[in-house]
Amino acid sequence: MVSLFETTHTLFAELLLPVPIPKLFTYRVPQDYNEYIKIGQRAIVPFGERKVLTGVVTHLHAEPPKDYEAKYILELLDEERVVSDIQFRFFQWIADYYCCTPGEVLNAALPAGLKLSSESMVQLHPAFDWNDSNFEFTQKEEILLKRLAQEPLTYTDISKILGVKQVHSILKSLTKKEAIIVFEEIKDKYKPKTERRIRLNETYVNNKALETLFELLGNKPKQEEILLRYLQEVPVLQNRTINKQGISRSALLQADLSESSLSTLIKNNILEEFEIQVSRFDYTTTNEKQEIVLSKEQAEAEQSILAAFEKQSTVLLHGITGSGKTEIYINLVQKALADGSQVLLLLPEIALTTQIVQRLKKVFGDVMGIYHSRFTDNERVEVWKNILNGSFKFVVGVRSSIFLPFENLGLVIIDEEHDSSYKQHEPAPRYHARDSAIYLAQLHHAKVLLGSATPGIETYFQTEQNKYALVKLDKRYAEAQLPTIIISNLQEEQQRKTNKGEFSGLLIKKMEEALAAQEQVIIFQNRRGYSPSISCEDCHWIPKCVNCAVSLTYHQYRHALICHYCGYKESMPDQCPTCTSKRIKTIGYGTEKLEEELNLHFPDSNVQRMDLDTTRSKSSYENIIEQFEKGETNILVGTQMLTKGLDFDNVSLVGIFNADRMLHFPDFRSYERAFQLITQVSGRAGRRKKTGEVIIQTSQADHPVLNFILNHDYLGFYRAELHERHQHAYPPYSRLIELTVKHIDKKICRQASSELAENIRAALTDIQVLGPGEPMISKIRNQYLMSILVKVARGNQQLALIKKSIQGEIDRLNKVKEFRAVRFIIDVDPI
């Protein structure tokens, strides 16, 4: 029998490419690769006329494609597979469930450093002679040709040099004049980190040779000192293999040893300098490894979770803020690792959870890897490789961590499972990491623990349907008490004139008391910038974004008006551009303005701000947290970043600056989000024995959601919210599919959305289709938007067919001439 992999056999490979096309691509395998190629390896392949892409081999066979001649694979990038069968199945499920292509999933899954691709480069034509050319050149063409005489350039380089956005017409003209050629250059994005090191020449790695060497160096004390230092740091006589790793030059010369003496030792081949590949991660572990001692309540909760895992694969741990869920996580991770399983701990935004990551690192050391968006491409590749080679058995990461190459996943923990950060919005795949991780765990036959003080309504509903087990943790850790919550009625304060500007007199008084007692304060306002908008007091002009249907936010520190949707920026005007009035006022409060006002109220206190603007750099968030932990900051003002798993001993007061905006957001989930945000940020107060206080500023003191928060009554809120959703058939009593229609022309956008809604209603008569209608923001980045909401009743078993039918209607509309440029976006389970 002839093997498929016999070297004389013509072999074909199906490749999944990171492109939004719903099919695999067939390539011919060069015979030299026949015995090496494996499913799951990366391969470089030609794509289209000139492009080169990195794909992953999914199938191998001997059948050539019928409709075209297969191109050859250019190169295999891996000796072993980097994508497993389970990952392929997972990618396909994501594509099917969230209505996108497997290629889009692959593009999201692989770190950029693993996706080699080509870049178009421009160089002078080898036969081009400026003096002998019969063509005339424009000024821009001459500038470009002079630069190309020095080196080849990318399209981006050319755009910058010429100061134009579009370069195609210029390049087309120069190509016709036979002055340039365009070619593709493959870019390897991953570069291993290397380090120059020093080691002892292997000739001297034995007692006798070293004795002779020291005799020779007897009258050269500086060289002798360096050699002794090396042997202290790298004891080669105890273990000769460690000599291969050597020591860095800086470490060797730490004790003010002579650089010139070291150079002499290298020159005389006693020591040798070499380059070694090193990790980008700091594996140094502290000796502070803590023994986790669980309270009675924590121990009971852990045992309940383990017992529930015997019967069900998914458990919800509903633990109030400060109840010590992290300690339970640590114990469960240790048990899973002891069983030989891999563990994934998902956090909403890992850059915002420095405290928990630092604590876990102390416990798990170098078997723990971290994966998040602030890592460089190279760092992400190294995490991927460390999971493949077994170095990282426990990974703490953000939503994209679900795509990592786990082989033996035994436990998935999803902390703050309710958090909206787990949902990917743009680009596709628009997946929810919590729900996707549950399916991933099923593929691995792993267990899932969901943790939250304020579980999502749909999640808690699953426990009542016996889909998930429920374990409760109702007491705070170490005898700490839940904070006392006080509603500050702004209307009454304004009537009595006890307010201090936009702050209630009560909040200012409580802040004064806390600061006098050397305690810390957190102020929460979920709006960054100085003010959401500005306005002319005479003609009521409000500056709008030129690309989006939103007003511009004023940022004082940049003295600019900025769009938070597209990034458009313009300077703060000195006068109204409409009526020339200089009476321009700010409207509303952002965190920047609160910081300014608090500095005026409390000039002797150190006020810090924590929002997207102050945490853009890689370590800025950690610096703010460290200063607050050390007590260097007295008042911390911030957005919802403050709700993310922070634990400070000395915070006795939390102020919610404006609860009303959260309660009146036009969305069926607004009450749920308000309850979660306010409860979570309130939980930062009184984490130890002293009971903390929370002041909620509102003009609606009797709002039912605030009453539930006041009484720490999650179950009461859940029941009330469930009743409302049942009446209006919102999740969990239905599944939602949101369709967004985008086009640069408003009329075409409306026409396309109307036809799509009508076609879906005609094709799917048993489901509810709402819209089309304009979303709250009807234009973003010069694209007009229309929205359609499809409601699928709970229990409807035809969800896959419904999605397929919707996709079919979109495909039909895209074939209509006037709708070819219309973009249709399908968002399954929008939030």
Final residue of a structural domain among 82, 103, 138 = 82
**732 preceded by a cis bond (ω within 30 of 0):** yes
The answer on 454 and 523 residing in a single domain is no
189, pLDDT greater than 70: no
Model pLDDT, residue 7: 46
Which residue would you say has higher pLDDT here, 48 or 771?
771
50 exposure class (CB count in 10 Å sphere: 0-12, 13-18, 19+): exposed
The answer on 488 and 472 residing in a single domain is no
Model pLDDT, residue 31: 92
Model pLDDT, residue 286: 47
Model pLDDT, residue 826: 98
When pLDDT is averaged across residues 156-172 and rounded to a whole number, the result is 90
The answer on 453 and 326 residing in a single domain is yes
For residue 752, give its domain range.
734-828
Residue 193: inside a domain: no
Residue 683: inside a domain: yes
Confidence class for position 2, pLDDT limits 50, 70, 90: very low
Distance in angstroms (rounded) separating the CA atoms of residues 730 and 722: 9
375-409: pLDDT as tens digits:
778 888 899 999 999 999 999 999 999 999 999 99
710, pLDDT greater than 50: yes
Distance in angstroms (rounded) separating the CA atoms of residues 63 and 504: 76
If you average pLDDT over every residue of the chain, what do you get? 91
Helix (H, G, I), strand (E, B) or coil at 46: strand
5, pLDDT greater than 60: no
448-495: pLDDT as tens digits:
999 999 999 999 999 999 999 999 999 887 777 889 999 999 999 888
Residues contacting residue 499 through CB under 8 Å, at least 6 positions apart:
490, 493, 505
Per the DSSP assignment, residues forming a β-bridge with 397 are 346, 371
Final residue of a structural domain among 549, 564, 587 = 587
Per the DSSP assignment, residues forming a β-bridge with 228 are none
150 exposure class (CB count in 10 Å sphere: 0-12, 13-18, 19+): exposed
Distance in angstroms (rounded) separating the CA atoms of residues 290 and 261: 45
Q: Exposure string (b/e) for 364-376, b if CB count within 10 Å is 16 or more?
A: bebbbbbbbeebe
**775 preceded by a cis bond (ω within 30 of 0):** no
Confidence class for position 188, pLDDT limits 50, 70, 90: low
Q: Of 291-305, 619-633, 642-656, 728-742, where does the model show the most confidence?
A: 728-742
**Strand 342-346 with 314-319, pairing:** unpaired
The answer on 742 and 688 residing in a single domain is no
Model pLDDT, residue 352: 59
Model pLDDT, residue 322: 86
Helix (H, G, I), strand (E, B) or coil at 361: helix
509-562: pLDDT as tens digits:
999 999 999 999 999 999 999 999 999 999 999 999 999 999 999 999 889 999
286-314: pLDDT as tens digits:
445 566 789 999 999 999 999 999 999 99
Final residue of a structural domain among 140, 169, 187 = 187
1, pLDDT greater than 60: no
Cα 317 to the chain's mean position, in Å?
A: 24
640-654: pLDDT as tens digits:
888 776 778 899 999
**The total number of structural domains that make up the chain:** 6
Q: Give me 247's structure tokens.
A: 């020591």
Model pLDDT, residue 287: 42
Residue 607: inside a domain: yes
Q: Are 504 and 659 in contact (CB under 8 A)?
A: no
Model pLDDT, residue 645: 64
Q: Is the model's pTM score more than 0.75?
A: yes
The answer on 636 and 596 residing in a single domain is yes
**For residue 777, what is the domain's CATH number?**
3.30.70.600
Distance in angstroms (rounded) separating the CA atoms of residues 345 and 360: 11
The answer on 490 and 460 residing in a single domain is no
Amino acid at 454: T
230-287: pLDDT as tens digits:
998 888 888 878 888 888 888 888 767 888 899 999 999 999 998 877 666 665 554 4
Model pLDDT, residue 830: 97
The answer on 751 and 642 residing in a single domain is no
**For residue 183, what is the domain's CATH number?**
1.10.10
320-346: pLDDT as tens digits:
988 889 999 999 999 999 999 999 999
Residues contacting residue 633 through CB under 8 Å, at least 6 positions apart:
520, 606, 607, 608, 624, 627
**For residue 52, what is the domain's CATH number?**
3.40.1440
Confidence class for position 695, pLDDT limits 50, 70, 90: very high
599, pLDDT greater than 60: yes
Model pLDDT, residue 680: 93
The answer on 450 and 351 residing in a single domain is yes
Residue 368: inside a domain: yes
The answer on 488 and 454 residing in a single domain is no
Helix (H, G, I), strand (E, B) or coil at 684: coil
Q: Are 753 and 745 in contact (CB under 8 A)?
A: no
Model pLDDT, residue 283: 52
Residue 284: inside a domain: no
Which residue would you say has higher pLDDT here, 45 or 275?
45
The answer on 597 and 577 residing in a single domain is no
Residue 301: inside a domain: yes
Nearest to 436 by CA among 806, 15, 829: 829
Residue 322: inside a domain: yes
Confidence class for position 607, pLDDT limits 50, 70, 90: very high
H or E element that contains 815: none
The answer on 689 and 817 residing in a single domain is no
Model pLDDT, residue 67: 87
The answer on 770 and 634 residing in a single domain is no
754, pLDDT greater than 50: yes
**For residue 450, what is the domain's CATH number?**
3.40.50.300
When pLDDT is averaged across residues 570-577 and rounded to a whole number, the result is 96
Distance in angstroms (rounded) separating the CA atoms of residues 248 and 254: 10
| Residues 688, 691, 697: CA angle, nearest 5 degrees | 120
Residue 470: inside a domain: yes
